[in-house]
Chain A
Amino acid sequence: MSQSAQLDSVEGIQAILREQGYIADLPMATALRLVMALQKPLLVEGPAGVGKTQIAKTLADVLDTKLIRLQCYEGLDAATALYEWNYPKQMLHIRLTEGMRTAHSGHAANLENVGESVKEREAEIFSEPYLLRRPLLEAISQDQSPVLLIDEIDRADEEFEAFLLELLAEFQVTIPELGTVKATHRPYVILTSNRSRELSDALRRRCLYLWQNYPSLEKEAEIIRARLPGMDERLAQKIAAVMHYLRELPLNKAPGVAESLDWAQALVSLHREALDLGVLEATLGVILKDREDLALIESHKNRLAELVA
């Protein structure tokens, strides 16, 4: 079966992802299927470190298309996300043309000509060569539908969220100086949120919604083995078991899937084929990155020793 035919079914998507080393459960595979079929944005929420951002990367890999990322933060505005005019270039152009005009006319031209000249010059400096495309504009101007990742949308201000609505509903943006730019190929949009604030209903209604939690123990072991095919199955299961136990503790920074993979990679690099408490202690810094968390673990050594035995 060809890849495009496989993309028409949830099972096919799961199979393709597995081939590429990604383990997708039914909710994730269905979400990707619907993003492609319905061409609606997908809003993914869940705790930090569960692999929300990875979904966009995975989709871009599967579709063999460009991934365009917009990292949101407080104070992000349309000029940074959508487009900006290249002001230094515009100023330079004004100066150069001003100099040329003065040289040619010798001195003051009549007022009518000056008026026309201003209009022409304005049209010229607010044209494509002076436009700096930012991620959102970039995403709707591609020859092939890219994957647009709008990461941590909850960090952006409410005003920016409202600004996104036009883009997500119509896949078009309006640049006052140029007019409306409509997407020639609709991007596949993935938005992620850590729920640091409530997103508006208007935004939610425009999106498919997926709640992503930490993977189950079995799935996490599977993910580790998919990424590190040479890893022993029992070692992968032990890593997953330790990570699950740690996530149940009242840690300041619970380790995510990325930490599991980093830890597995660290063990491979250290040529450790078995896990014991000594190895765990030596590599704990890969998993826990907070002094209080490290101190808390001290009182759980017995249970950890049982898990790695």
Chain B
Amino acid sequence: MSQFTGQTLFPHKNLSENLIAFSNHLRRTSQKFNLGPQEVQDGLRALEAVNLASVQEARQALKLVMCSCPEQEQVFDDLFFQFFLPSKRRSPPTANAKKRVPGGEGEDGEKTHSAGENPAGAGLEANLGGPSGISKTSADALEVSGAPTLKAMLSRTGSDSGVVEIVQEDLGAMLQAASRLIETVRLGKSRRWYSAAKGPRFHFRRTLRRGLQTGGEFVHTAWLAHPRRQPRFVFVLDGSRSMEGYADKLLQFAFALRMRSARVEVFTFSTELRRITRELEACKNLAGRPKLSGLGQAWGGGTRVGESLYALEHSYGGLVRGDTVIIVASDGLDTGEPQVLEHALRQLRLKSAALVWLNPLLEVNGYDPRANCMKTALPYLDKFCSARTPEDFAGLAEGLRLRK
């Protein structure tokens, strides 16, 4: 077992300097570890509390202190070994790596949220003929054998280093459109209570307070009522090569929506699904030109609509609730099996308040949505339209009937 305190392993001479350098290293990663002096101090305290002779215990202790979300937790082990034990560095996780066993100590692996992986595992290997009737695609087979190369060929960027800029032109109008959309989505009442002039429940605390001013007589009553529920949005953007020319505006709207409400989650996909909410959040201050980097297979490659939506439902299903409006922006040129798409859309429709599909091809003369995967999707949609201008986006909720 390697000794964590051994100087030969580390770049600096003492533990605190090593930890500060490691924190700096983590801050610079794409996962943007949010580490301040308090976390470094906690890291030192955590190391004091465990057996420093065990690298695994030390790594686990730092992981608990320094990670704050699954995305960081998934890459922490690699970053740890990269920094402290470069000679024992493990091969970097690939996009298709489904499970990993950090440190080789029997920890449970975690699933990556790759749409490229066969989402249902063994269950989809055989052609089911069951309710989902999903079969393993030939594309999946390619994925396993040599997909990274194929993906790179298909990719607009050809590598994971692609940078996507959020266009600034008309951003003000887009922000206004986002505000209008949020305001126009009308949901039912929330379960919480707030003080109101009239309501179904007596506000005891306030009535009692008022009663003290009138000698214990409750002359002026106060009431509680339910506020209206605020909608949540899940925006799923197809960033594949075929969406070139449309995706920029859609990404700008997604960004505007996120700027206007914290109840917005944004995903992008090409052959993989990627959650970009945090990245958009980081762009909020508008310092410089906001851009997203390292989108990898979630931008600029082929199109896996069904599997990406399946990954959304399977891995992020909790984000879709009764107050959620899902907006899928895609041309629907799916290369996957329609059964996968159908299964995913059925589940998403069941869980959400509304399912909206924005298809830029609707603006093209002669486009027939029954010709591709849209034929499968149409029965599950509450609204099917295209949107390009701020006015279009602001009017998305018009005529939209919420199911919950």
List A residues at the B interface (Cβ < 8 Å): 9-11, 25-27, 30-31, 33-34, 37-38, 40, 42-43, 45, 73-77, 79, 85, 87, 90-91, 94-95, 98, 118, 121-122, 154, 157-158, 194-198, 201, 204-205, 207-211, 213-216, 218-219, 245, 248-250, 252, 292, 295-296, 298-300, 303
Contact = CB atoms under 8 A, between A and B. Distances in A.
Given A9-B50, A33-B50, A300-B130, 18 more contacts: A26-B56, A34-B49, A34-B65, A37-B49, A43-B68, A79-B205, A85-B208, A195-B318, A198-B277, A205-B39, A205-B68, A209-B67, A213-B108, A216-B106, A250-B119, A296-B131, A298-B130, A303-B122
Contact of A25 (B49, B106, B134, B321): B106
Interface stretch (B85-93, B153-161, B190-198, B384-392): B190-198
B169 interface: no
A75 B46 contact: no
A58 to B, nearest CB: 16
Contacts of B70: 45, 195, 211
B123 A300 contact: yes
Which 4 residue pairs are nearest across A and B when measured between Cβ atoms? Answer: A75-B192, A248-B121, A37-B49, A249-B123
Interface string B125-155: 0101111101000000000000000000000
A196 B123 contact: no
A154 B317 CA distance: 13
Nearest to A11: B51
Contacts of B212: 94, 118, 121-122
Contact of B34 (A11, A85, A91, A205): A205
Given A10-B50, A30-B64, A213-B110, A296 B347 contact: no
A76 B38 CA distance: 30
Contacts of B39: 205
A34 B124 CA distance: 41
B216 interface: yes
Contact of A215 (B38, B42, B51, B108): B108
Contacts of A198: 265, 277
B61 A34 contact: yes
A204 B134 CA distance: 38
A162 to B, nearest CB: 11
B366 interface: no
Nearest to A84: B205
The residue in A76, A250, A292, A299 that gathers the most chain B C-beta atoms within 10 A of its C-beta is A250
A137 to B, nearest CB: 16
A166 B359 CA distance: 46
Nearest to B213: A118
A117 to B, nearest CB: 10
24 contacts: A10-B51, A25-B108, A26-B57, A26-B106, A30-B64, A33-B50, A34-B61, A37-B46, A75-B191, A85-B205, A91-B211, A197-B263, A201-B68, A204-B68, A205-B39, A205-B68, A209-B69, A211-B70, A248-B120, A249-B120, A250-B310, A252-B347, A298-B130, A303-B122
B21 interface: no
Interface in B208-225: 208, 211-212, 215-216
Contacts of A207: 68
A37 B50 CA distance: 9
Contacts of A38: 42, 45-46, 49, 65
Contacts of B208: 85, 87, 90-91
A248 B115 CA distance: 15
A205 B277 CA distance: 18
B239 to A, nearest CB: 21
Contacts of B129: 299
Interface residues of B, number: 67
Interface string B101-121: 000011111100000000111
B191 A73 contact: yes
B33 to A, nearest CB: 11
B108 A75 contact: no
B64 A250 contact: no
A26 B108 CA distance: 10
A219 B65 contact: no
The residue in B39, B49, B120 that gathers the most chain A C-beta atoms within 10 A of its C-beta is B49
Nearest to B49: A37
A219 B108 CA distance: 9
B193 A77 contact: yes
Given A26-B107, A252-B347, A296 B130 contact: yes
A260 to B, nearest CB: 14
A126 to B, nearest CB: 10
A200 B48 CA distance: 28
Contacts of B134: 250
A214 B50 contact: no
Contact of B123 (A27, A33, A43, A248): A248
A292 B131 contact: yes
B108 A216 contact: yes
A34 B63 CA distance: 11
Contact of A75 (B50, B126, B190): B190
B192 A250 contact: no
Contacts of A37: 45-46, 48-49
B260 interface: no
A81 B56 CA distance: 38
A154 B263 CA distance: 12
Contacts of B205: 79, 85, 87
A210 B316 CA distance: 18
A30 to B, nearest CB: 4
Given A213-B108, A214-B108, A218-B106, A27 B60 contact: yes
Nearest to B39: A205
The residue in B64, B105, B205, B343 that gathers the most chain A C-beta atoms within 10 A of its C-beta is B64
A106 B191 CA distance: 48
Contacts of B46: 34, 37-38
Nearest to B134: A250
Contacts of A121: 212
Contact of A10 (B57, B63, B105, B121): B57
Contacts of A303: 122
B343 A30 contact: no
B285 to A, nearest CB: 14
A155 to B, nearest CB: 9
A74 B191 contact: yes
Interface string B28-64: 0000001010110010011011110000110011011
A201 B211 CA distance: 42
